[in-house]
Structure 1
């Protein structure tokens, strides 16, 4: 029970202090009583403890004053001159905003535990006699030989010693189509062995694997402070110093310079401490941010914090992952061509019957293509799966081969229909062949199709002045075709997680504010590196946890809505900040010339806060 309450303790304390303030106000409505003052004191202690502790510790460690201390001083100053309600409200507002910020930050720390699940904890270690046993991955050493069975994850970065297979590298490259692997090829930890038995040799320690690098990249990106955060920290220190110095001067100088009596001097200093407190400034940002976040949630957008909502409005460029973001994320048959003189339906029926017994994504796509045409498949009894190459089957008296060109006959595949396979490959498609004893029977071309809404989203982003870049693990030829189809301004091919981060940093140095859209584990480092990471709602847990913004309905067009919402919020925040600073300035000047007393100062100060909040609530309107 305590473990569940502890992460929310600060928020609970802030809300409890608010309840006590309301009760104290009703108790002392006519005149402050001992009971109402006692309730205010309890509200001070409960609501202000966390921020007071944070402010004191920060001051001791960094030897620098902060806004937390200023708020505490302002609240104490209000109480000293008898304004308990105002002091308690200042504590409550600041405590609530701090609690919400802490709660949001704690939620964003779970992606590393999700990343850790990607790398297996155990592996099959082979001894000198070829026998295998389960051992912990952490106990493995470079040079160890391991056995990886079909369906298992590759435990470590390694080299294939024996065996052929298809490996799903979507977790690393983001490519949806499995890659054929054979002896001598490199394997990454966390990828999945689909169909063949592999003997591999570990060539990197688990601490240096690509998965571990992804974890380190996420940690590094999250630890880097944004320019906005650095500006806020600098402004905070200066603001506190100016206010405290001004109050200190106000407590003595007017007595000697203008011959004020000590009562008036101290009274005016206390008024200054109250009216100069940043209550209205705090209200300038938080209500506007919460209203905008609520608006976004109603429109399929989840923001993980106000800073991300603020940043997306000034985004100059956006990088988009290809697979599952711009495209459907799975291959579809785009072309099906048969040998002259043969019946399309008959050939497709036989081919689909062969593929229907395979779990390979390409086989499943061809089977689905046939089923969509109303073809009924039948089991083929005499067939053999050749891992990493294709399928052999005997249909009637003929022997069929289905797979890559080198498996069915390279020269024959080149000559089929005047080299149609090369034309299809130039279009960025994956080509699969079917052959019998007489040569190539048919060819099927497959491609991960661009989502229809992706093109609309790219158009909207361009209209908003955002430069679009596609990042993909595909080769140059495939990447160009997809980029042209989607309509992006630029593309970068053959990207691994490490190179995606490198390209993101280059874009950041060029454009300053860059977004990143992705849905896979391989996108996590880039999402964390970008100014604003945007994840698709149907993406992996790691992508969702690492990202700053989540598209809950997988609608890319919502990104443009987020940009417009952010720009409106930033306009309102600027209006609020200008208004609140102007009011504080007027109140300070009026206090110096003794035009206002403390009640009027409180009314002006709290009244400006109310107006600022009402202006912020305009963001709750669904249409922006």
Structure 2
């Protein structure tokens, strides 16, 4: 069974469903939860359990279930209320609370009475803020498992009970706002997965048994089918080249910085982009089994199984709420019954206890601190997607980094121009640029850009010809020159042992080599590489100084390139030639070893690893949409130096939050003692609670200062 569970957006609902379904099914292995999509899969094979029993068990939790339909998430099929319910209620709650405050301040009243009109606004605002929370609070009461929803409800009711209507509506609004942000984050992650689907083309050019080529959806293409992939098109399925040669941009899948030459027998991946050659490929996987399909599934799985640690306040609520309510009841009943005390006196003391126990200062201070921390981070070019992620950087012990676009610029650049046989650098570079002038290949663009930066006037060649999958040739000054790869040089038979040794050394150092020659000899070669970012080395040093124990590079590039960049950047460990699933496995190994692990990347191929890590950071300015949306934090300026800053900012935020918690609870403990001793009044309790709220809010707002 595949079911959509309305309201399943956090681990609380998962735990609730497991309590009802595991006894019915006998094992939690029969349950699979996808929090991103609110999807529950139930395995009923080899059981006598009916779907009706499953629906009944889910109904006992108070949640609603319906049969899964892929079209339900389409905004076209949703009403306005369903799409904007939480945002609308939160907005209404805030506006009504503000309206009540305005009415109360302007309404002519005697004494301290709150005008009925203001009470009406406050009450409506409270209902708007809590209408989605109260059912969960009720479930926590019924199941005898107090949670944050019950804590918020009690806080609001306590504030209403002592006439603090504005305080009550403020708590309701802030909690509703936090739930809205959580829902928004899940929606963004869900849309990120949907955007991955756009990498796969909607049609495949299928050659049938008669030799005719027809268009078909990739989902309808079986293993062993022959597909035509034209220049510039995306690969519709994973396959093997059976005819033709071309360069293929594999960056969306493997993260390689330069296109890879493909010829007969080489593998290609769905979603990668064909270069300038016509390819015929034999499909080796169905549409739901391609590497891209596995990436999409891994992102969803990693998010659904990566249960965030339960917040301290939620753990505290499970003890705090029943203990305080129990103490208030005991304070009201025991002294009069056992000690013969005055009922009215002890009722008053119990009310004072409930008032001072109202966790408003604790509840309000934390979101204020978090919002201030998020705002300060945004001003520094760091987009943090919700308060849950602001604390994570402070606990990091290890960091995994992608190479291309993260530690490096993400595009090839000319490193060396090596002339030979009487030619000079200027002549060699100008001839190479002339041959590459009309090519869109990244290596070609890098060579042309280098020539222009040196002030060369590059003229196009005559009789230009592309050598499919190998290089190019043309006439310059009446003489024919060619340009190509090391492999093409070997095929021409013009390679000498000395040149071979030199090229092998360059390639081992992580350089891509372009050879230029004529019919008589090799004129020289140009080496290119993805240049390291200027700040990478310093950032790695700062991360170590900040307490990061281990930094590892994870890349799809070849080992020579990876090691060269790692040595230059001061990386502790290198893992090269990795596919997306390999990166996930490496991150999982790090998580088991260090527990708190961040992954930094920028490509679609990094998305599963970003989702699996304890904390995912995306390079935002040039990163892919999937990486940015999947990550918990995006560095919008592509400035790696923001990572050490983020770690220090997170630690400062944690310090302030802890200060606020200790102060809030300290004030309450003092007043609890005074209440029991009979020295606290209701108004003193109210003043202490409001004073504590103001102080912790002011302390939280210190995070807005530059640090």
TM-score range with shorter-chain normalisation? over 0.9
Task: Give me the CA root mean square deviation.
Answer: 2.4
Give secondary structure in 1 for the equivalent of 2:535.
Answer: helix
Q: Which residue of 1 aligns with 2:603?
A: 520
Q: Which residue of 2 aligns with 1:446?
A: 528
Q: 1:8 aligns with which of 81, 87, 94?
A: 87
Q: TM-score, normalised by structure 2?
A: 0.83
**232 and 347 in structure 1: CA distance in 2 versus 1, 3 angstrom threshold:** same
Q: Matches of residues 437-516 of structure 1 in structure 2 within 5 Å?
A: 437-466=519-548, 467-516=550-599
Check if 1:610 corresponds to 2:610: no
Q: 1:558 aligns with which of 621, 642, 657?
A: 642
Displacement, 1:137? 1.7
Q: Which residue of 2 aligns with 1:579?
A: 663
Counterpart CA distance in 2 for 1:183 and 1:418 is 24
Q: Which residue of 2 aligns with 1:589?
A: 673
Check if 1:271 corresponds to 2:352: yes
Runs of 4+ in 1 over 6 A off after TM superposition: none
Displacement, 1:155? 0.6
Q: 1:359 aligns with which of 440, 445, 452?
A: 440
Check if 1:19 corresponds to 2:98: yes
Q: Which residue of 2 aligns with 1:546?
A: 630
Displacement, 1:41? 2.6
1:64-95, CA deviations, whole angstroms, 9 ceiling, x for partnerless residues?
Answer: 32232233234334444555455444434434
Give secondary structure in 1 for the equivalent of 2:131.
Answer: helix
Displacement, 1:24? 5.1
Q: Which residue of 1 aligns with 2:119?
A: 37
Give secondary structure in 1 for the equivalent of 2:133.
Answer: helix
**395 and 115 in structure 1: CA distance in 2 versus 1, 3 angstrom threshold:** same
Is the Cα–Cα contact under 8 Å of residues 86 and 602 in structure 1 kept in the other structure?
no
Q: Which residue of 1 aligns with 2:266?
A: 185
Q: Which residue of 1 aligns with 2:133?
A: 51
Please identify, of 89-98 and 112-121, the stretch whose mean Cα deviation from structure 2 is larger: 89-98
Displacement, 1:358? 1.8
**238 and 483 in structure 1: CA distance in 2 versus 1, 3 angstrom threshold:** same
Counterpart CA distance in 2 for 1:414 and 1:233 is 72
1:18-62, CA deviations, whole angstroms, 9 ceiling, x for partnerless residues?
Answer: 2144135333573244434333332332232222234235656x6
Is the Cα–Cα contact under 8 Å of residues 121 and 138 in structure 1 kept in the other structure?
no
Give secondary structure in 2 for the equivalent of 1:50.
Answer: coil
Q: Matches of residues 56-95 of structure 1 in structure 2 within 5 Å?
A: 56-57=138-139, 64-80=145-161, 82-95=163-176
Please identify, of 577-586 and 7-16, the stretch whose mean Cα deviation from structure 2 is larger: 7-16
Counterpart CA distance in 1 for 2:146 and 2:446 is 63
Displacement, 1:593? 2.0
Counterpart CA distance in 1 for 2:331 and 2:140 is 27
Q: Which residue of 2 aligns with 1:224?
A: 305
Counterpart CA distance in 2 for 1:457 and 1:71 is 42
Counterpart CA distance in 2 for 1:365 and 1:414 is 27
Q: Matches of residues 311-390 of structure 1 in structure 2 within 5 Å?
A: 311-390=392-471
Please identify, of 88-97 and 550-559, the stretch whose mean Cα deviation from structure 2 is larger: 88-97
Displacement, 1:598? 1.4
Unaligned 5+ residue runs, structure 1?
none
1:439-493, CA deviations, whole angstroms, 9 ceiling, x for partnerless residues?
Answer: 3221111111101122221222122122322111122222111101112222211
Please identify, of 30-39 and 165-174, the stretch whose mean Cα deviation from structure 2 is larger: 30-39
Between Structure 1 and Structure 2, how many residues are aligned?
A: 622
Please identify, of 193-202 and 340-349, the stretch whose mean Cα deviation from structure 2 is larger: 340-349
Give secondary structure in 1 for the equivalent of 2:270.
Answer: coil
1:352-411, CA deviations, whole angstroms, 9 ceiling, x for partnerless residues?
Answer: 211112221112222222222222222223232223222233456654332122212266
Counterpart CA distance in 2 for 1:393 and 1:29 is 96
Displacement, 1:495? 1.6
Displacement, 1:297? 1.4
Is the Cα–Cα contact under 8 Å of residues 433 and 458 in structure 2 kept in the other structure?
yes
Please identify, of 244-253 and 570-579, the stretch whose mean Cα deviation from structure 2 is larger: 244-253
**113 and 448 in structure 1: CA distance in 2 versus 1, 3 angstrom threshold:** same
Give secondary structure in 1 for the equivalent of 2:309.
Answer: helix
Q: Which residue of 1 aligns with 2:328?
A: 247
Structure with the larger RCO, 1 or 2 (CA within 8 Å, 6+ apart): 1
Q: Which residue of 2 aligns with 1:308?
A: 389
**352 and 180 in structure 1: CA distance in 2 versus 1, 3 angstrom threshold:** same
Is the Cα–Cα contact under 8 Å of residues 100 and 119 in structure 2 kept in the other structure?
no
1:313-345, CA deviations, whole angstroms, 9 ceiling, x for partnerless residues?
Answer: 221121111111111111111111222223443
Check if 1:415 corresponds to 2:479: no
Unaligned 5+ residue runs, structure 2?
1-78
Q: TM-score, normalised by structure 1?
A: 0.94
Is the Cα–Cα contact under 8 Å of residues 166 and 193 in structure 1 kept in the other structure?
yes
Counterpart CA distance in 2 for 1:102 and 1:260 is 50
**341 and 603 in structure 1: CA distance in 2 versus 1, 3 angstrom threshold:** same
**216 and 249 in structure 1: CA distance in 2 versus 1, 3 angstrom threshold:** farther
1:274-328, CA deviations, whole angstroms, 9 ceiling, x for partnerless residues?
Answer: 2222212223321111111111112111111122111112211211111111111
Counterpart CA distance in 2 for 1:107 and 1:128 is 44
Is the Cα–Cα contact under 8 Å of residues 75 and 87 in structure 1 kept in the other structure?
yes
Counterpart CA distance in 2 for 1:621 and 1:578 is 22
Is the Cα–Cα contact under 8 Å of residues 617 and 634 in structure 2 kept in the other structure?
yes
Please identify, of 46-55 and 24-33, the stretch whose mean Cα deviation from structure 2 is larger: 24-33
Please identify, of 95-104 and 432-441, the stretch whose mean Cα deviation from structure 2 is larger: 95-104
1:233-274, CA deviations, whole angstroms, 9 ceiling, x for partnerless residues?
Answer: 444333333233333433422332332333333333333222
Is the Cα–Cα contact under 8 Å of residues 419 and 524 in structure 2 kept in the other structure?
yes
Is the Cα–Cα contact under 8 Å of residues 71 and 277 in structure 1 kept in the other structure?
no
Displacement, 1:435? 2.5
Q: Matches of residues 110-129 of structure 1 in structure 2 within 5 Å?
A: 110-129=191-210
Q: Which residue of 2 aligns with 1:133?
A: 214
Is the Cα–Cα contact under 8 Å of residues 206 and 225 in structure 2 kept in the other structure?
yes
**87 and 327 in structure 1: CA distance in 2 versus 1, 3 angstrom threshold:** closer
Give secondary structure in 2 for the equivalent of 1:200.
Answer: strand
Counterpart CA distance in 2 for 1:103 and 1:223 is 16
Is the Cα–Cα contact under 8 Å of residues 51 and 98 in structure 1 kept in the other structure?
no
Q: Which residue of 2 aligns with 1:258?
A: 339
Q: Which residue of 1 aligns with 2:241?
A: 160
Displacement, 1:8? 1.7
